[in-house]
Amino acid sequence: MKRQKMVPSMLRAGVVALSLWGAGARADETCLSPYTAALIRGQEKYLQVWTLGVKGMGDESDKLVTVNVDPKSPDYGKVVATLSVGGRGEAHHMGFTDDRKYLWAGRLDDNKIFVFDVGTDPGKPKLVKTIDDLVPKSGFVGPHTFYALPGRMIVGALSNAKDHGGATGLAVYSNAGEFLSAHPLPTTDGGDGYGYDIGINPQKNAMLTSSFTGWNNYMMDFGKLVADPAAMKNFGATMVMWNLKSMQPDKVFSVPGAPLEIRWSLKDGDDWAITATALTSQLWLVKKDDKGAWVAKDVAAIGDPAKIPLPVDISIAADGKSLWVNTFMDGMTRLFDLNNPEQPKEIYSKHTGSQVNMVSQSWDGKRVYVTTSLLANWDKKGADDEQFLKAFDWNGKELTEKFKIDFYGLKLGRAHHMKFTGEAQKAASVAPTRL
């Protein structure tokens, strides 16, 4: 009984003995699942780039490219490891397991999911498992988003095996790679069944999903797609608020134009998320209205929507006060002021390439990384098909390029999704999670 009295007294006294380990374990990185451990608050050491192989280039294979991004290292700005996985299957996005030891990476065409060990030696990842049962287990096609839950991974898909259209869902796997359950996106009460990104707010028991398009469209040549009015109708126009505990849809929001990446504000007390629509070039805010009901509303244009700049990736600052937005068609990297999320304002822009897709910022906001590939068949042709990783410093006023890695020049392929890794997790006294 003595213990029962001791613990509450410690809480009341506010005894804080938080370790760095523990603090990291409970922190949110700006675009990671809130359940992801070991937040990198300081200087990231490596950047993993999920890279699409190109026929006739190098080994032609999709690969995980590891770049040293530590300015104090003699290898700064250099590719230090490449890990080819064999074949080309439309490599796309990645996500850490909750312990940040493993990085799951998906391919949208052949539906394979590769699990890399990035905890043991982040400078030299190892492929430890390939998951290939998404389609037979769930009926879904196109493993896109990898979002950690404790001990599990939610895989957000883009399509389905029946018609390769946009109706799809969420598949849940254990960290060991065992399929656990499937959760279709809603097709009633305003739902269109389309899927794309996932964003969880655990304190609100809330999960948001967004919507893109199915295999028929994302594997089609981009020029052919935009010239096909029927195909252009097959894009998502909804976001869904889910009850996280039950994994059941709670409310469908009408968000026309393919809402893509979802970012909850990480600022204490904030209670909103933001997304960008690819086709209509708008920022949308999801928050509660005066009556306490969740709503989604169009709050700002990105560039000139009439020119279809095609907003793609977004990256929110840790304090929720700003948002980087890449627009693919015009190759612009834009910064929006979110001090009033109801009225975002573009405050800076820079032409960072002929085509730019992903944008990732460090926790302190001082470093910004940009890559180029959207989809193999959607990337630009000829000289405009630049494929690079660029690293910038951000001083609050200007992006200053620190290094550029030419992925075509090094015969690597198309540079797509990025994730940061830090030091090897040497402190762990137990073996890695079984796989």
Binding site for another protein (CB under 8 A): 1-4, 7-8, 10-11, 14-23, 25-28, 34-35, 37, 98-99, 149-152, 172, 174-176, 178, 180-181, 201-206, 241, 243-248, 250, 268-269, 292, 427-434
CB of 14 to another protein, least distance (A): 7
Please identify, using beta-carbon distances, which residue of 92 and 100 lies nearer to another protein. Answer: 100
Please identify, using beta-carbon distances, which residue of 66 and 421 lies nearer to another protein. Answer: 421
What's phi and psi for 252, nearest 5 deg?
-105, 130
CB of 298 to another protein, least distance (A): 23
Please identify, using beta-carbon distances, which residue of 383 and 427 lies nearer to another protein. Answer: 427
Contacts for 294-297: CB closer than 8 Å, 24+ residues apart: 294/206, 294/241, 294/251, 294/253, 295/253, 296/239, 296/253, 296/254, 296/255
Please identify, using beta-carbon distances, which residue of 23 and 347 lies nearer to another protein. Answer: 23
Exposure string of 152-167, with b = 16+ CB inside 10 Å and e = fewer, is bbbbbbbbbbeebbbb
Rounded distance between C-alpha atoms, residue 150 and residue 339, angstroms: 32
E strand spans, 55-100 = 63-68, 79-84, 91-96
Closest CA to 264 of 33, 1, 20, 26: 33
Cβ-based neighbours of 138, under 8 Å, separated by 6 or more: 157, 169, 171, 179, 182
Rg (CA), the chain: 21
CB of 96 to another protein, least distance (A): 13
Q: Are 160 and 141 in contact (CB under 8 A)?
A: yes
Cβ-based neighbours of 269, under 8 Å, separated by 6 or more: none
CB of 102 to another protein, least distance (A): 11
CB of 425 to another protein, least distance (A): 8
Q: Report which secondary-structure segment, H or E, holds 106.
A: strand 102-107
Single-letter amino acid, residue 120: T
Please identify, using beta-carbon distances, which residue of 10 and 347 lies nearer to another protein. Answer: 10
Rounded distance between C-alpha atoms, residue 32 and residue 9, angstroms: 34
CB of 18 to another protein, least distance (A): 6
Residue 205: Cβ within 10 Å count? 13
CB of 41 to another protein, least distance (A): 10
Please identify, using beta-carbon distances, which residue of 16 and 230 lies nearer to another protein. Answer: 16
Rounded distance between C-alpha atoms, residue 130 and residue 89, angstroms: 13
CB of 242 to another protein, least distance (A): 8
Please identify, using beta-carbon distances, which residue of 28 and 110 lies nearer to another protein. Answer: 28
CB of 146 to another protein, least distance (A): 17
Please identify, using beta-carbon distances, which residue of 11 and 306 lies nearer to another protein. Answer: 11
Please identify, using beta-carbon distances, which residue of 108 and 273 lies nearer to another protein. Answer: 273
Please identify, using beta-carbon distances, which residue of 60 and 121 lies nearer to another protein. Answer: 121
Query: Half-sphere exposure of 397 toward its Cβ, with a 13 Å CA cutoff?
Result: 0
CB of 40 to another protein, least distance (A): 14
